[in-house]
Structure 1
Amino acid sequence: MQTCVVMTVLAPDRTGIVKSISETVAAHGGNWLESRMARLAGQFAGILRIECAPTDVDAMVSALESLEGLSIHTSREEFPEDTHRDLIHLDVVGNDRPGIVRQISAAVAGVGANLEDLQTRLESAPMAGHPLFHAILTVSLPAGIAPGSLTDSIEQLGEDLAVTVVE
């Protein structure tokens, strides 16, 4: 049985960070399963899921932690992930305001759903130029909850929010 390691990586952004991480993972027999990475305010921020033989995990994590300038936090799982989930993908756009992520996450939790993936950014509104909030959500819905319940819950947060179900 393989061990899954989920890790977060933070570092001042520079060329070669992903190369260093991927070479270290490969050198210890690790398999890079999935990741999300971004440059935020001059910082590299990433979250990764790596699969590795249980006998190689400690050495791999130690080698990753020794990479210069990186802050790494890891969590291990010794069992395979249950991958069966009913997922819905949403695109949400509206005027930016403080607390909008808190409101959207509360609307998702309020219908009993789980936020699986969230990507947010600010965009310039066409013609007006003021900041627009744009979120792309992947949400797992519990049995018996219709997607319309979730979209209605988010739309009730303000008349300016447009919620689209993405296929």
Structure 2
Amino acid sequence: MRRRPGACAAGATRARCRPVDRRAVRSGARYTAGVSAAAYVVTLLGPDRPGLVERVSAVALEHGANWEASRLVRLGGRFAGVLLVRLPPERAGDLRAALAGIGDLRVAVDEAGADPDAPGDAAHLEVVGHDRPGIVRAISRVLAAREVNVEELETACASAPMTGEPLFRMTAALRLPPNVSVDDLRAALEALAHDLMVDIAIE
């Protein structure tokens, strides 16, 4: 007779037949039943090389960490990463030591803070123009003056298709406070566009 998933075979002892921990099945992490887990932010910096992400993920799994979110990037020949993981608090120190043991990696493991839903509307900002010093400073000053939170920011420089001149691109995920509208912020940023010689779009 076919057993339903998770059911014990006839005569199985309690020690040999336990409910499946579905969190462990999804993540592959070695969870222990009844052990609470906490969220940690892990930051990594070191020389970039092939296989580094695989090694980091293997170490995380070996220490029972569930990899929930991450940002990994190569910048100037260096590997930089920020991870959000969840694991039992008593394993956090061992995880940091093991990651540092990978070689030439600077590692920090900090307990994550509360992350409640932020009030206000979300907005997406795009900036494109000829590269010059001070673009990020000028735009971030407008945002800070209106208490707009920058939740994610990405910038890059590339050669313009026709002229080959350096072209600056910036994208940002913003969270506006309740007293600031997208139209108000757009007007303030567009006032900078001429001076900075950039195109600015926000929606």
Do they superpose with TM above 0.5?
A: yes
Structure 1 residue 97: deviation in Å? 0.7
Identify the match of residue 103 of structure 1 among 126, 138, 147.
138
Structure 1 residue 80: deviation in Å? 4.4
Identify the match of residue 184 of structure 2 among 149, 152, 160.
149
Q: Distance in 1 between matches of 2:74 and 2:102?
A: 19
Identify the match of residue 171 of structure 2 among 136, 140, 144.
136
Identify the match of residue 46 of structure 1 among 76, 81, 91.
81
Give deviations 1:90-125, integer Å, cap 9, x for gaps: 111122111111112111111110111100001222
Identify the match of residue 31 of structure 1 among 58, 62, 66.
66
Identify the match of residue 116 of structure 2 among 82, 100, 124.
82
Letter in 1 for 2:180: I
Aligned length: 165
CA contact (8 A) 2:193 2:199 kept: no
Q: TM-score with structure 1 length normalisation?
A: 0.89
Q: TM-score with structure 2 length normalisation?
A: 0.74
Secondary structure, aligned partner of 2:177: coil
Ranges of 4+ aligned residues in structure 1 off by more than 6 Å: none
Give deviations 1:109-167, integer Å, cap 9, x for gaps: 1111011110000122232221111001011111121012222222222312222235x
- Radius of gyration: which is bigger? 2
Q: Distance in 2 between matches of 1:161 and 1:65?
A: 42
Hey, which of these two has a bigger chunk of strand by percent? 1
Unpaired segments ≥5 residues, structure 2: 1-35
Q: Distance in 2 between matches of 1:126 and 1:107?
A: 30
Unpaired segments ≥5 residues, structure 1: none
Q: Distance in 2 between matches of 1:151 and 1:6?
A: 33
Identify the match of residue 69 of structure 1 among 70, 90, 104.
104
Partner of 1:60: 95
Q: Distance in 2 between matches of 1:56 and 1:40?
A: 30
Partner of 1:163: 200
Letter in 1 for 2:37: Q
Q: Distance in 1 between matches of 2:108 and 2:140?
A: 24
Letter in 2 for 1:26: L
State yes or no: 1:22 paired with 2:57.
Answer: yes
Structure 1 residue 12: deviation in Å? 0.9
Letter in 2 for 1:83: D
